[in-house]
Structure 1
Amino acid sequence: MYTREQASQLRQAFWTAFGQYIAPHLSAEGIKVSWLNYNTGFKHVYFRMQADKKTASIAIELTHPDTEMQQLFFEQFEAQKSILHDQLGEAWEWDLHTEDENGKTISRIYKEIKPVNVFNKEDWPAIISFLKPRIIALDEFWSMAQYSFEELK
């Protein structure tokens, strides 16, 4: 087992390594982007990557506190589901109104792999190989799709 500090340092080392690995890639619009803190330009719409001792995941998270607004965003993504899945090259899971780890109601569109362990450096290549093409594909999708969400801003 790791101490809390050791676990934090390992997580930080992983995300630093991932950030360095993906940093040379420009966005679909040809600009430098912070892949780890991807800015969708929409409040309450996030692209999140996570890795822990059992899984790694990438998700579109909709966190609007008004569940009706959250559902409107979710439905707008559903309207573009085939385009999203084509861009990603795979189908993702769709959860409307689920709870996050803090008990808040969110909606998620996500993909995960298991078993992988961010605390095992031997799993890092598999986690990076899982996350990298998917965040790049999400960026390519979002560079075209974001305009259809303007009415919901």
Structure 2
Amino acid sequence: MYSKDEASQLKQAFWTTFGQYISPQLSAEGLKVNWVNYKTGIKYLYFRMEANKRSASIAIEIAHPDPGIQELFFEQFLELKNLLHGTLNEDWEWQLHEMTEDGKIVSRIVRKLHNVSIFNKNDWPALISFFKPRIIALDEFWSDAKYAFDALK
């Protein structure tokens, strides 16, 4: 078991390592990008990569405080589902209006990896192999799809 400080340091070390590993990769538009803190350019719309002691996930997260607007974003993603899954080369789980641990309602399109731990450095290659192709594919998808969300900005 790690102290809160040790756990925080290990998490920070992983994300720093991942960031250094992926930093040479340019975006689909040929630009330098901060992959760990990917900016979609739309408020309340995030590409989230998370890892904990049991699993990892990568998600498109819609966190708008108005559930109706959240649903509009979600429906727009449903319109682009074939493009998204075609770019990702896999199906993801679609979750409309889920409660987070801190009590917020969000909607997600998510892919999970189980039985890995950010606290086990032996799992880091598996985590990197999980996150890297998916965040790059999300960026490729977003370079084409973002214009479909202009009316929702």
Q: How many residue pairs were aligned?
A: 153
1:47 counterpart residue number: 47
1:31 counterpart residue number: 31
**Paired letter, 1:69:** I
Q: Distance in 2 between matches of 1:100 and 1:48?
A: 13
- CA RMSD between the two structures: 0.4
Q: Distance in 2 between matches of 1:101 and 1:48?
A: 15
Q: Distance in 2 between matches of 1:68 and 1:2?
A: 41
Alignment of 1:86-105 (within 5 A): 86-105=86-105
2:84 counterpart residue number: 84
- Runs of 4 or more consecutive aligned structure 1 residues displaced over 2 Å after TM superposition: none
Which deviations, in whole Å up to 9, do the C-alpha atoms of 1:116-150 show, x marking residues without a partner?
00000000000000000000000000000000000
Q: Distance in 2 between matches of 1:107 and 1:39?
A: 18
Q: Percent identity?
A: 63
Shift in Å at residue 101 of structure 1? 1.5
2:20 counterpart residue number: 20
2:71 counterpart residue number: 71
**Paired letter, 2:35:** W
2:3 counterpart residue number: 3
Shift in Å at residue 2 of structure 1? 0.8
2:137 counterpart residue number: 137
TM-score normalized with structure 1 length: 0.99
**Paired letter, 2:41:** G
Q: Distance in 2 between matches of 1:83 and 1:97?
A: 22
Is 1:128 aligned to residue 121 of structure 2? Answer: no
Shift in Å at residue 100 of structure 1? 1.1
Q: Distance in 2 between matches of 1:65 and 1:10?
A: 32
